[in-house]
Amino acid sequence: MVVIKKGLSDYKILLASASPRRQELLSQLGLDLQIVTLPSEEESFPKNLYREEIAVYLAEKKAENYKNLQEKEILITADTIVWIDGKVLGKPENYSDAFQMLKLLSGKIHFVITGVCLKAIEKTVVFFAETKVKFADLSDEEIRFYIENYKPFDKAGAYGIQEWIGKVGIEYIEGSYYNVVGLPVQKLYRELMKF
């Protein structure tokens, strides 16, 4: 383990996420990680929440659902949403849903927002990161090719920026690239250092 801050070396870092992208990003920080599982639960939220409030609420809700937290452990939970035209896009339910999401994103600006919760026995810290993303106009053939070959059903907004569609379809981003991948690692690193 790379010990960047002496106090952090006293803690075991737990990541409650099945996302291979989040696991890889965190391991690249040099953290000694343990992956833990949460009880499966529908990612629902109160309808009065807006933009980042949704992502933060879902990240906190995941942390609350983990019941095995011990002394000297820090649990990391996160949730990423896509916000466009005043509405939230989560993970697509099927091919048709993914197609409709990508059709909506085509040629427009949207926002990728990740809520993160750091939880220990003695305290909880929540924060979020937001990245502005501009898609080029995508043809129906490009959308179908992407869905059929990359099956983005586990990704908010039905796309992964690190995949083919990101290379051919993203005109620009403002903010953290890694946030769009699924975890704002720079901000997370700074928050862990303060923790």
Q: Residue 2 — pLDDT band, cuts 50, 70, 90?
A: very low
Domains of the chain by range and CATH? Answer: 6-194 (3.90.950.10)
Predicted confidence (pLDDT) at residue 5 exceeds the cutoff of 70: no
Residue 174 has pLDDT above 70, yes or no: yes
CB 12 within 8 A of CB 174: no
Positions annotated as catalytic residues are 79
The pLDDT tens digits for 127-164 are: 999 999 999 999 999 999 999 999 999 999 999 999 99
CA distance 39 to 132: 32
Given a cut of 50, whether residue 3 has pLDDT beyond it is no
Say what the pLDDT of residue 87 is: 93
User: 3-class secondary structure for 137-185?
Assistant: CCCHHHHHHHHHHHCCCCCHHHCCCCCHHHHHHEEEEECCHHHHHCCCH
φ, ψ of residue 64 to 5 degrees: the values are -65, -25
